[in-house]
Amino acid sequence: MPMPCNRYNIKIFVSRRIDVNSVAVDNPLYIPARCGAFFGGDTAVQGDDAGDNISQKRNSFCEFTVQYWAWKNVAADYYGLCHYRRYLSFSERKYRRDDRGLVPCAALTPSTMRRFGLLDAETMAAKIVPYDLVVPQPAPIEKMPLPQGRAKTVRQLWEAHDGIFFEKEVIDRTLLLIDELAPEYSSSAREYFASGFHRGYNCYVMRRELFDRLCRLQFPIMETIEQELDTTGYTDEMRRTPAYVGEMLFGVFLHHVINHEFWRVSQRQLVLFEETRKINRLTLARRYISFGLERMIRIASKPFFPLGSKRREACKAVYYRMTKAGRK
C-alpha cells in the first residue's frame, strides 16, 4: 500500500531553461526551478537566484546552479535533481535503452508521464524512501558512440571529447584537485576513470547527508577549475567545462558510495524526452513521426557523424537553422 508522500520531505528539483516553456509534471515532489534565473525567464516559476546562489554562472555551471541553490536555501529529507528533458523512471516496466544508456521518448505529455510513473507522488515516495540513494542505471561505455570511435573506460570516454566539450588536460587537473581537496575519494576516482561504466547525467534522489557530501565534493573543485581556466577562444560548449567536471565528480561520488560504503541504492532507468513544450495533438503526432525518422537517421549516420564530433555539430547547426527547431 502506498505511503502518504507528506510523511517524508522529498524535493526533486527540475532544472528548467529560461527560454523554453516546458510542461510541468503535476506532482508535488517535483519543484520546477529556473536555471540561470539571474538572466530572466518566467517569474511565476521559482528561480535559482534567491538567497545564497550562483545563478549568474548558468553558462558555465548549467543545472548545477539549481543544485547549489537547493543546497544552500532549501530544507528537505531527500534532495533530487533532474533536467527539464531527463527524468528518472519510476515505472517497474523496463524499456529499451539507447547507446547512451537513456530511454528515448518523443515528448513529455500526461500520457508519457503516466507511462514512466511520474504522476503518483505516493507511489514514487514508496519507491524512494526504502533507499538512501536513487540513481540512473550505469551506461556501458563500449556501446556509446563517440567523436573518435569507441572507448572502453570512463577516461577514454571523456578524452574523446577533447577540444569539443573541454581540453582533456582538465581530467588530470580534476584528479589532482580531488587529491588536494577531497582525498577520501582519490582511490575511487581512479577506479571510476578506469572502469567501463559511465555514471552521468546529474539526475538523482538522495538523503540529505549524501546530498551534502556530493555538493561538498563538487562545488569547490568546479569553482577552482573555473578560476584557473583561460577561456579565450572557447566555444559556448567549452565554456561549460566546470559543468562537465561536475558530471565527472558525480560519477566519482556514485562509484565511491555504491562500491565502498554501505548505502541502500536503487538504480532506475533514465528517460530523455525530446520535446518538453506544450503542443497540440496534430503537432504531437508530427513530432512522433519526426522522432521515429530522426532515430532511424541517427542510427544510420553514427559511423559518419559520431556523437559530439565537429561534423555532427555542424550538421545540427544547419538543421536547427532550417527547421527552427531551437532544441538542445
Q: What is the pLDDT of residues 253-300, one digit of tens each?
A: 999 999 999 999 999 999 999 999 987 666 666 665 665 656 665 556
Q: Are 184 and 216 in contact (CB under 8 A)?
A: no
Of 231, 250, 273, the last residue of a domain is 273
Same domain (yes/no): 129, 237: yes
Into how many domains does the chain fold? 2
In a domain, 72, yes or no: yes
**Structure confidence at residue 328 (pLDDT):** 39
Q: How does DSSP classify residue 275?
A: E
- The residue whose grid cell reads 532549501 is 74
Q: Are residues 294 and 263 in the same domain?
A: no
For residues 31 and 92, membership in a common domain is answered with: yes
Phi, psi of 269 (to 5 degrees): -70, 150
Contact 203, 118 (CB under 8 A): no
CA-closest candidate to residue 272, choices 304, 294, 249:
294
Q: Are strands 204-207 and 78-83 parallel, antiparallel or unpaired?
A: antiparallel
Residues 207, 77 contacting (CB under 8 angstroms): yes
Domain assignment present for residue 45? The answer is: yes
Residues 231 and 303 in one domain: no
Do 181 and 298 lie in one domain? The reply is no
Structure pTM?
0.87
Name, in order, each residue with C-beta under 8 angstroms of 245's C-beta and a sequence gap of 6 or more.
166, 170, 174, 221, 222, 225
For residue 53, which amino acid is it? N
Predicted confidence pLDDT, tens digits, the chain (328 residues)? 445 555 789 999 999 999 999 999 999 999 999 999 999 988 889 999 999 999 999 999 999 999 999 999 999 999 999 999 999 999 999 999 999 999 999 999 999 999 999 999 999 999 999 999 999 999 999 999 888 778 999 999 999 999 999 999 999 999 999 999 999 999 999 999 999 999 999 999 999 999 999 999 999 999 999 999 999 999 999 999 999 999 999 999 999 999 999 999 999 999 999 999 987 666 666 665 665 656 665 556 666 666 656 666 666 555 444 544 444 3
220 and 296 together in one domain? no
What's the pLDDT score for residue 146? 86
Cα dihedral: 227, 230, 235, 239 (round 10): -10
* pLDDT for 80: 99
Rounded CA gap, 20 and 32, in Å?
13
pLDDT at res. 309: 63
Instruction: Return the pLDDT at 316.
Output: 54
User: Does a structural domain hold residue 94?
Assistant: yes
Q: What pLDDT, on the 0 to 100 scale, is given for residue 7?
A: 78
Q: Are residues 290 and 257 in the same domain?
A: no
Q: How far apart are the first and last CA of the chain?
A: 40
Residue range 205-257, pLDDT digits in tens: 999 999 999 999 999 999 999 999 999 999 999 999 999 999 999 999 999 99
Residue 312 domain-assigned (yes or no): yes
Residue 306's domain comprises: 281-323
Would residue 328 count as lying in a domain?
no
Q: Are residues 49 and 157 in the same domain?
A: yes
Angle (deg, nearest 10), helices 241-260 and 186-193: 100
Residues near 54 by beta carbon (within 8 Å), at least 6 away in sequence: 61, 64, 65, 68, 69
Say whether both 112 and 187 belong to one domain: yes
Q: Are residues 200 and 236 in the same domain?
A: yes
Q: Is 32 helix (H, G, I), strand (E, B) or coil?
A: strand
